[in-house]
Structure 1
Amino acid sequence: SRFREFPGLDLTEYASLYCLPLYVYSNSTLVGVMELLYTREKGFSDEEINFFTTLTGILSTTIQNEELQGELRKMNLELEQWVTEKTEELRASEERYRTLVESACESIFVLAENGDIVFANDQASRLTGVPKFKLIHKNLLELFVDPSQPKGILSEAFQGHESLRQGELKRADGTVVPVDVIAVGLRLMGKPFVQSVIHDTSSRARLEKLLAEKEQEIAALKAKVSS
């Protein structure tokens, strides 16, 4: 069975056999055997033995290196497949996120740590009156009458806290809109960002003003009836 790779080999034709292990001494690994067959009886000199021993050492290391290279290629292929799968999953996840954000009825911004806008949805453009491609070159604080109003929420969001602030947003046409600003930490592509949702509270402010006026009217009527 030792010579199964050479089915036509007739051992009776050989008078001498010298076997040398293909042994890697650095990690005590046997990777094979080299056999030398001679048709005549032969004794081996020290010089020949040293030569064949050196040769088997070179062959052992070469074979093991090739096996290691094969394992490395396999691991690299598996790693590439894993990275490809994770990249596709991440891309799909970000695409779902983008779709949800774009279709949202609220104004949504994604901000860098210093407040620079790296993404804004269509509603954000409508609220501010600024085209989306121009919003990307702005800082969120520039959009407010008083930049200090939303400033604190950035650091709080990066620290893992969800924050809410009220402020006045200045639109591109100069009109001022009362807003609620909500911010929460967000990770995209492994990097920290802040997602900020800005809600126009104009309608609520008008209703509150109308309610206050009605309460004043009712109080006036009650006072008139009492008198």
Structure 2
Amino acid sequence: MNLKTPHIINEGIEQYQLGELKGNHIHYDFEKILIYLDVKGKLLFGEKFKIHKEDREILYKLCNYQIRDWQNCKKLNIDINKGILLSGPVGCGKTSLMKLIRHITPQYPSFELIPTRNVTFAFNHIGYKIIEQYGDNRFYCFDDLGIEPIGRFFGKDCNVMGEVLLSRHDLYLKYRFKTHCTTNLNAQELEEHYGNRVRSRMRQLFNLIAFDKKCLDKRR
């Protein structure tokens, strides 16, 4: 990446210009971003990947958030200071889109995508240090929130991701460190899984961006 031209991204011998650089500000073009995301998606996930028309609204929100377009985000009721909670049915493409949008802003720090079940499995092996580990100042997207099992360490049960989210909430209040998540669950299911205390803090942590519940499984 050339820091002087962060709006131009190289993929092999090809260049993709996502907008125009005017002074210190990039005026992004959503259609050009979509062209690049389609190319990058095929590189990451294979030739069968494509941008579906029904996903354009979701992508418009995610892209405006990722490029930090304050004006559009305000219109979309998105708080740039919060993280993203991307929800939708199984197979709608949540994980793929979160992996993709990182690539349109190489000038910004990226986040690490962590499956929630891996966090629980690590807790079962190592214990409470895992909760401390993910309660640090790094930038994470926790994938598939709500499908992970309850953790158990030395015979004691623990809702591991619930504790991690409480730690991340503390970090957000003190330092504005953001957290992202994807989930198949709706708000009521999240509250049933994690309790009202965690759910209320999630409202402060996240912007909710949701696929239509009738969205088709793209894996089929």
Relative to the length of structure 1, the TM-score reads 0.27
Relative to the length of structure 2, the TM-score reads 0.28
Larger Rg: 1
Larger proportion of strand: 1
Larger proportion of helix: 1
